[in-house]
Chain A
Amino acid sequence: MKNSKIYRLLAVLLAITLLASACGSDDADGNAGGDDVSDDAGDGGDTDDSGDSDDSGDSGDSGDTDSVDVTQGGVLAAVLARGEVNCGIPTSAVAFAQQDANGVWQGFDVDYCRAVAAAVLGDKEAVNFVPLTAAERFTAVQVGEVDLLMRTTTWTQGRDASGDQAMDFGPTTFFDGQQLAGRRSDGFSEASTLADVDGASVCTNAGTTTEKNISDGVAAAGGTFTLVPAEDIPTAVAAFVAGTCDIFTSDGSAVAGEAATNADNADGDWVVFPATPISKEPLGPVYPQNDSEWGDVINWVVFASIIADEKGIDSTNASDRLAQEEAALAAGGEGLDAEALRLLGGEGQLQSALGLEPDAFLNMIEQVGNYDEIYNAHIPAIGLSREGSANARWTEGGLIYAPPAR
């Protein structure tokens, strides 16, 4: 009798102990591991939300906590000391951030995280990916939980303006815009405009600016429509497929991706319109406010990937190109591209001025690739080709443009 009582007591005590130990780490102990910092609020609502501006009703309260470290301009030093970039990414966004069957993160935004790691630390795998919901992403930047946010985030004046949202925006990596999908059998065509939406019911993911854009747009065109809000994009698409609504709207990349891959569209009945998106959604990196040193690094990682694309430097030929330019320099400048030489870390390189190793961009291009490679590795899979889009090279009529590296 006594014996079993002891065990019962032991069991209860252990339960309490382990409960307590699960919450605590040895705080005086240097080797406490495996704990991540507290996360700040988020409603876990939607994932792809480049047009989501109503982020921060709840984040103002925590904006003041840790921003001190951030504003002292130490992110680059902190990253170098840590040996790892904390990069905020979407929890799931087709082609931008997705986990493949092996649990490895893939995507356009994910590759830019890797590019930063390759440039700053020389290793593209030195990234700690932090999947963030739409609502918690800005708080994560403000409190320094992430060094960089590559999370299909639209650059808007309200988000950029200082105030309770302490963060800065880098150069746009992907120009997106809201579009609609309807059915030809319902009378929609490529030439349809917002005026044709009059009287239709529209599915979209709730709580984002896509909802506001379509309301404003249709009202301005003098029509009325029924809004069918859905929790997220897949739910909105499912409702569209099921016929709950006549039109489905979201960011152009998402709409085109669905139209290209959805089994319901096997007969090509879907049509994406209008050709010019109804809103501007420039997506790019976000980093802590007032840290120019770190901001310059991020900006120039993006610019370097664009310049490399312009000059035809890619992951396969970067080293050869460096050798070739160095040979040209040694030969007296015949056929020399001085900008490419500087970018790849040769004579007159400017990477050291950014606080990086001279071969930072060489590493980045070799390990991850230039803009074109990053784009083509992920975006065409959802049916968006680069040619003719806003994301084409500036020399080909697109908006992808970088300042010169000199």
Chain B
Amino acid sequence: MSSIEDLGGIADPEAVFGHDDDEIMLPPEEPSLPPAEWIRKNLFSSKGSGVLTVLFGLLVWFAYRGVLNFAFHNPSRKWAAVPTNIRLMLTQSYPEAQYVRIWFSLGIIIVLSGLTLGVVRSHPMINLRKVLSGSMTLGAFLALSALIIKNNIQTDADGEFVRDEFAEVLRVDRGEALSGRWWVFALAALLIGVAGFLWFKLGDRRRFIFIPFLGVIYSVLGLMVLSLWVVPYGKYGLLPDGTFLAEKGATVAATTQGPWTVMWVLLGLSWFVGNKLLPSARALKVGLYLSWFLAPYVIIFVVLRDPELDWGHVFSTDIPMFLAFAIIGGAVLYFLTNPSLGEIGRIIAFGLLMLAAFHWLAAFFGWYPMLQKARLSFLVLAFFALAAANFAGPRKVRLGYVATWVGAMAVMHYLITMVNTPSTLDIQGGDDFIGGYLLSLVVAVFSLTLAFPVGVMFALARTSKLPIFRVLSTIFIEMSRGVPLITVLFFFATIIPLFLPQGMTITKLAAAVVALVLFSAAYVAENIRGGLQSVRRGQFEAADAMGLNTSQRVGLIVLPQALRVSIPPLVGQAIATYKETSLLAIIGLFDFLFIAGRVIPAQTQFISQRFEPLLFVSAIYWIGAYSMSRYSRSLEQRLGVGSR
């Protein structure tokens, strides 16, 4: 537990109560009752509640016992299917030789997480009493689980189950079974012992000691990483020559231990760095959020795809084109932000929009060839031009706007060039270079980050005063919500390609992302509309009274309040989208669930072994969804949703 000390140790009250304005005051703790009193008061307060407690307690007991035995002590369970196929489930065919790219991507995310945690400086403190009682409960729970689970199954030298003459599996006797689980009891004893010792040693003081929550989490992660080096989880896999490898009782391969240790160190380091860089936090925060936003694209299209740039093309076409758009577009925008321009500006902007639209029309009818990138750049330029009037003002503001334009162009041209450069990855079996959990995650992240702004847009449009926006948005939302997701996925994967102009294709992955974005945007829009309705009329009037224009009123007054209220349903939608990625298999993508449910049971070694992979998939999905749920809870508490 030394790492807790490293991260600040036992905190002084000041650290708890107030270095940051968004830190909330903790309400006074209720005095804790002695255990017997607590049980009497909460579980057996009356005859009826006593009966209910016993009844449901038994129900939980049997259900839990059943699940444990089903998962671990069932003769048909062969858990080797999961560790052997772990790479297949997580990344499908991603070549092992290139796995450093996966770790590098994970490293990017870890570093960004660490920096964010450090910079945001939100240090939730957790009461030591809770930690102690939590670890004692966990210890008791582990010991109990190890006690109630059925006896181990006897295996012979080949690892096959020993059966009696009636083909029933034989189990070892009780004592042997329990002694075989000594490590569970050791762990439980350690947890209970240490926590109990501290509990009684500290006495009542335990209630007033707070330790940083992040430190606890980081220590637990550290212990888990450490366990990779010492605990014999076993080595499973398929050697390149096709030999099935199953070494029970070995510690996991160095190719797993090493990277995870590096990740753990990286997380701590980046947290430290982020925390020390606080003085420049404002700029850093914006940079961090931008990095978060760009990270998925960079990871997918640059790191994982390993594009091989055609330098001739880059110098002859890509860079000149970027420069042309950046310089000429910048000049146009600088001109358009001139405060004394008046109506001419809007006319020019509208003209640019028409020009962009014309290029797209030309593409559709195939009148003249043009790089897609150029069409997109024209479109973005038109949008920038339309918004230019809002940035009219002193020279500094105008230059800032132009700089934003150049930055946007740089990012956009860079990513499009990367996206369109062929991958050098040698993937067996087609063009899809991602699959498995990676695919599910990528689709979920892209869909969520894109569905949110689109959803906000539709919510605002639906509450807009302009009937055309209101009607269009209502039609879109009701159409999207009225159609099953499977239909939408099919539509985008099979029908949309028929509408595309000649020579233009859409990958299944892109089709899936677009379908999910539009589908979840409809739900997001409705969630946010609910939030918008909760903003009182007085807020609008106050904004008007201060002389704010519409975009300022929406952006500064209404939306922040509406989004705060919408957090619970929005997180619900995020979790739903995350889980909906398991439908991707129906358009032929190899998502996490499909590999667990269909690909692994088709392998010769693991024919019909689908429960183990499915249980594993459920566990992973649950961890993801539960983390989101916890995060939303803490966000709600910070923002005081429901309490103010």
Known contacts A98-B604, A104-B428; 17 additional CB pairs below 8 A are A3-B400, A13-B380, A17-B380, A25-B505, A29-B371, A36-B432, A47-B598, A94-B607, A98-B602, A99-B599, A101-B88, A103-B428, A104-B429, A136-B588, A234-B608, A238-B608, A266-B161
Total A residues in contact with B, Cβ cutoff 8 Å: 83
A-B contact pairs, 10 of them (CB 8 A): A10-B404, A14-B411, A31-B422, A38-B500, A92-B598, A99-B92, A100-B242, A101-B88, A102-B96, A382-B604
Q: CA–CA, A31 to B311, complex, Å?
A: 12
Q: CA–CA, A3 to B396, complex, Å?
A: 11
Residues of B participating in the A interface, judged by any CB pair closer than 8 Å: 75-76, 78, 84-85, 87-88, 91-96, 161, 163, 166-167, 237-238, 240, 242, 286, 289-290, 293-294, 297, 305, 310, 313, 363, 369-373, 376, 379-380, 383-384, 387, 391, 397, 400-401, 404, 407-408, 411-412, 415-416, 419-423, 428-433, 435, 446, 449-450, 453-454, 490, 493-494, 496-498, 500-501, 503-508, 510, 513-514, 517, 555, 585-588, 590, 594-595, 597-599, 601-604, 607-608, 610
Q: Answer yes or no: A205 CB below 8 A from chain B CBs.
A: no
Which of the residues B407, B429, B504 comes within 8 Å of A105, measured between beta carbons?
A: B429
| Complex interface: chain A residues within 8 A of B401 (CB) | 6
Per the 8 Å Cβ criterion, residues 2-18 of A in contact with B are: 2-18
Which of the residues B238, B498, B598, B607 comes within 8 Å of A258, measured between beta carbons?
A: B607
| Complex interface: chain A residues within 8 A of B423 (CB) | 33-34
Per the 8 Å Cβ criterion, residues 93-149 of A in contact with B are: 93-95, 97-106, 125, 128-133, 136
CB–CB A102/B408 < 8 A: no
| Complex interface: chain B residues within 8 A of A99 (CB) | 88, 92-93, 429, 595, 599, 602-603
CB–CB B506/A267 < 8 A: no
Instruction: Report the minimal beta-carbon distance from B638 to chain A, rounded to whole angstroms.
Output: 19
Q: Answer yes or no: A228 CB below 8 A from chain B CBs.
A: no
Q: Answer yes or no: A28 CB below 8 A from chain B CBs.
A: yes
CB–CB B431/A39 < 8 A: no
Q: CA–CA, A132 to B587, complex, Å?
A: 10
Per the 8 Å Cβ criterion, residues 356-384 of A in contact with B are: 378, 381-382
CB–CB A7/B290 < 8 A: yes
Instruction: Report the minimal beta-carbon distance from A399 to chain B, rounded to whole angstroms.
Output: 25
CB–CB B602/A261 < 8 A: no
CB–CB A98/B372 < 8 A: no
A-B pairs, top 5 by smallest CB distance, nearest first, are: A38-B497, A33-B422, A267-B167, A103-B93, A92-B602
Q: Given that A17-B412, A23-B510, A38-B498 are contacting pairs, would A234 and B610 also be in contact in the complex, using a CB cutoff of 8 Å?
A: yes
Q: Answer yes or no: A353 CB below 8 A from chain B CBs.
A: no
CB–CB B240/A5 < 8 A: no
Residues of A participating in the B interface, judged by any CB pair closer than 8 Å: 2-29, 31-44, 47, 91-95, 97-106, 125, 128-133, 136, 232, 234, 237-238, 257-258, 261-264, 266-269, 378, 381-382
| Complex interface: chain A residues within 8 A of B75 (CB) | 263, 266
Which of the residues A24, A42, A101 comes within 8 Å of B237, measured between beta carbons?
A: A101
| Complex interface: chain A residues within 8 A of B373 (CB) | 21, 26
Q: CA–CA, A100 to B506, complex, Å?
A: 28
CB–CB B420/A32 < 8 A: yes
Which of the residues A31, A42, A93, A378 comes within 8 Å of B420, measured between beta carbons?
A: A31
Instruction: Report the minimal beta-carbon distance from A360 to chain B, rounded to whole angstroms.
Output: 23
Q: CA–CA, A39 to B510, complex, Å?
A: 13
Instruction: Report the minimal beta-carbon distance from A62 to chain B, rounded to whole angstroms.
Output: 8
Instruction: Report the minimal beta-carbon distance from B388 to chain A, rounded to whole angstroms.
Output: 11
Q: CA–CA, A102 to B436, complex, Å?
A: 13
Q: Given that A6-B401, A14-B293, A258-B608 are contacting pairs, would A38 and B310 also be in contact in the complex, using a CB cutoff of 8 Å?
A: no
CB–CB A130/B428 < 8 A: no
Q: CA–CA, A26 to B513, complex, Å?
A: 19
| Complex interface: chain B residues within 8 A of A8 (CB) | 555
Q: CA–CA, A94 to B379, complex, Å?
A: 50
Q: CA–CA, A92 to B503, complex, Å?
A: 31
Q: CA–CA, A331 to B290, complex, Å?
A: 78
Q: Which residue of A lies closest to B588 (CB)?
A: A39
CB–CB B431/A35 < 8 A: yes
| Complex interface: chain A residues within 8 A of B433 (CB) | 34
Q: Which residue of A lies closest to B94 (CB)?
A: A103
| Complex interface: chain A residues within 8 A of B501 (CB) | 27
Q: CA–CA, A7 to B391, complex, Å?
A: 13
Which of the residues A3, A34, A92 comes within 8 Å of B431, measured between beta carbons?
A: A34
CB–CB B505/A35 < 8 A: yes
Instruction: Report the minimal beta-carbon distance from B95 to chain A, rounded to whole angstroms.
Output: 8
| Complex interface: chain B residues within 8 A of A13 (CB) | 380, 383-384, 408
| Complex interface: chain B residues within 8 A of A101 (CB) | 84-85, 87-88, 237-238, 603
Instruction: Report the minimal beta-carbon distance from A7 to chain B, rounded to whole angstroms.
Output: 6
Which of the residues B91, B446, B504, B604 comes within 8 Å of A25, measured between beta carbons?
A: B504
Most chain B CB atoms below 10 A, which of A38, A98, A103, A261: A103
Q: CA–CA, A10 to B383, complex, Å?
A: 11
Q: Given that A31-B313, A101-B238, A103-B92 are contacting pairs, would A21 and B419 also be in contact in the complex, using a CB cutoff of 8 Å?
A: yes
Q: Given that A4-B286, A6-B401 are contacting pairs, would A12 and B421 also be in contact in the complex, using a CB cutoff of 8 Å?
A: no
CB–CB A11/B588 < 8 A: no
CB–CB B517/A19 < 8 A: yes
Q: Which residue of B lies closest to A100 (CB)?
A: B238
Q: CA–CA, A268 to B167, complex, Å?
A: 9
CB–CB A39/B493 < 8 A: yes
CB–CB A100/B603 < 8 A: yes
CB–CB A95/B604 < 8 A: yes
CB–CB A38/B494 < 8 A: yes
| Complex interface: chain A residues within 8 A of B514 (CB) | 19, 22-23
CB–CB A263/B76 < 8 A: yes
Q: CA–CA, A92 to B603, complex, Å?
A: 9
Most chain A CB atoms below 10 A, which of B161, B453, B503, B514: B453
| Complex interface: chain A residues within 8 A of B411 (CB) | 14
CB–CB B429/A129 < 8 A: yes
Which of the residues B163, B383, B454, B490 comes within 8 Å of A41, measured between beta carbons?
A: B490
Q: Which residue of A lies closest to B411 (CB)?
A: A14
CB–CB B430/A128 < 8 A: yes
Instruction: Report the minimal beta-carbon distance from B99 to chain A, rounded to whole angstroms.
Output: 11
Q: Given that A17-B376, A18-B415 are contacting pairs, would A6 and B428 also be in contact in the complex, using a CB cutoff of 8 Å?
A: no
Q: Which residue of A lies closest to B163 (CB)?
A: A266
Q: CA–CA, A44 to B432, complex, Å?
A: 18
| Complex interface: chain A residues within 8 A of B240 (CB) | 102
| Complex interface: chain A residues within 8 A of B167 (CB) | 266-269
